[in-house]
Amino acid sequence: METGRKKSRSVNPSLIHPLQLLPGAGRLGELWTRGNGRASAATGAWYIRCGSGGPAAERTRMSVPAEQQRFAIQDSDGGLRPPRVGVIIDKFDAARGGAAVYTRDLVAWLVDRCFEVHVVARNVGEQERRLPSVCHEVRSRYGGHDFAAAGSECLAALAIDVSHDMGVAVGCDVFQSHVGSPVACQMGMDAAMPWWYRHARRLVQGPRRRRIRGLAAQQFGSPNSLFIAVSQRVANDLQRLQGVPPNRIRIIHNGVDIDHFDSQRHVAAGVAIRRRLGIDADDVIVIVVAHNHRLKGVHVVSHAVRRLRREGLPVRLLVCGTPQPGSSCGRAVSDWVLQAGSGIDTAPFYAAADIAVQASFYDACSLATLESLASGLPVITTRANGAAELITPGRDGIVLDDPADVTALTAALRTLAVDRLGRMSMGRAARRSAAAHAREGTFAAVVGVYAEVLASKGRTLVALAAPDRLLRPWAA
């Protein structure tokens, strides 16, 4: 496959390597680094697979260090301009949870690489307003179909190059649902409920479920969209439950900020948190980060911790996220349950903890799991969590088959609680595993999908060497 420069045209001297992605060039977005075939911000060069079937796909080397990469669209006359990307999300506020955190970090990363980014949302957080992007607040009273129509109309008026939907609109170039398959998510929520309540819940939520499934049918039935699945589990669900053809699915796992979630940077803060919450030096802290307590299995973790305490083990539960009803943030709910609250920086709380648990009944690819790994904590999770694909059981974590199995979770917690050296060894391995899934590699792979979309429109995305001359008038 020809990936080189067009010799018949002069190239801007700041151009390091043009990604000549012609229509039909095939899948781009699987990034490789020298030696191990994984995307990583730690290396100095990226390799991008640009094959479309046939024999072994060629790997094109971009000699630009990852932190210096900038991107532009090259017009037919050889001129360069910033790519215009429109991102649509319901609530653009990192305090709302993982999808908003991912979107905020992606937007900041794109803007830093000379993308002109427009964000369409119903609500925009104060911190997000300070990003050098353009926010468009859509006054839609309701979500669902109402916001999908209004948001899609707003995007269409922006004349952007690539539209990226975070799971709320219809007909965008790239669709990335952070809840994975809505049908699978509903099934997981049903499984998290007591057996006697499930049938009644289905009856009560019948109309709402039909609306959700109707919108999902439009979203996943869009004929021109590419679908980013944040895990292999999600990719399987999209094919099995939503009918998405496999050739339109791109698997890109979530990434994590390796530097920020480094427990060595938050040792003092972690010690201060333990002191403030009255945690003894011998206490083993089990941390859970969750907004939807039922779906994330907080009740299962609570039962397991209670059993261990009855056995005399000094185990305490620390919950970060939406407070449970009747509880107060930043204090002990009981002598063994601690509530940290929501809208906080969780990195110091990971530094204060010893074990991380995500006993999810369904999770597309938990960012909290990746943050725990990056923080050097051994992680216990379930196969219902797409992030479990990134864990090697017994080395950097433990993966359970059944999220409702309190006995299995209790045994896993007991194993780690009584073996301090084992916890530390597993935590070091967890940190190394997380390094292979840095967010820079994830976002670069997303740009690869953008390049594929642009190629289908007859446009070329090029990589530049940190051009200081490229202005950003949209951020003025």
CA nearest neighbour of 459 among 6, 21, 2: 21
d(CA 177, CA 168): 8
- Predicted confidence (pLDDT) per residue in 158-201, tens digit: 989 999 999 888 889 999 999 899 889 989 988 888 877 777 77
Give dist(CA 105, CA 327) in Å, integer.
Answer: 31
Helix (H) or strand (E) holding 450: helix 439-456
Question: What number is the average pLDDT over the span 22-27?
Answer: 29
Q: Strand (E) positions, 336-448?
A: 337-341, 355-358, 379-382, 397-400
Do the Cβ atoms of 251 and 231 come closer than 8 Å?
A: yes
Place of tokens 């490229």: 470
Per-residue pLDDT band for 222 (boundaries 50, 70, 90) equals confident
- Lowest mean pLDDT of 11-15, 59-63, 189-193, 439-443, name the range: 11-15
Q: Alpha carbon of 149 to those of 71, 218, 293, 307: distances in Å?
A: 31, 12, 31, 50
55's torsion region: left (phi>0), alpha (psi -120 to 50) or beta? beta
Proportion of the chain above pLDDT 90, given as a percent: 55
* Confidence check: pLDDT of 20 > 50: no
Residue 152 half-sphere exposure toward CB, CA atoms < 13 A: 18
Q: Band of the pLDDT at 466, cuts 50, 70, 90?
A: low
pLDDT for 246-286, tens place per residue?
999 999 999 999 999 999 999 999 999 999 989 999 999 99
Round to whole Å and give the CA distance between 128 and 198.
38
Is the whole-model pTM more than 0.85?
no
Name the packing angle between helices 206-220 and 144-156 (round to 10°).
Answer: 30
Q: What is residue 442's three-state secondary structure? A: helix
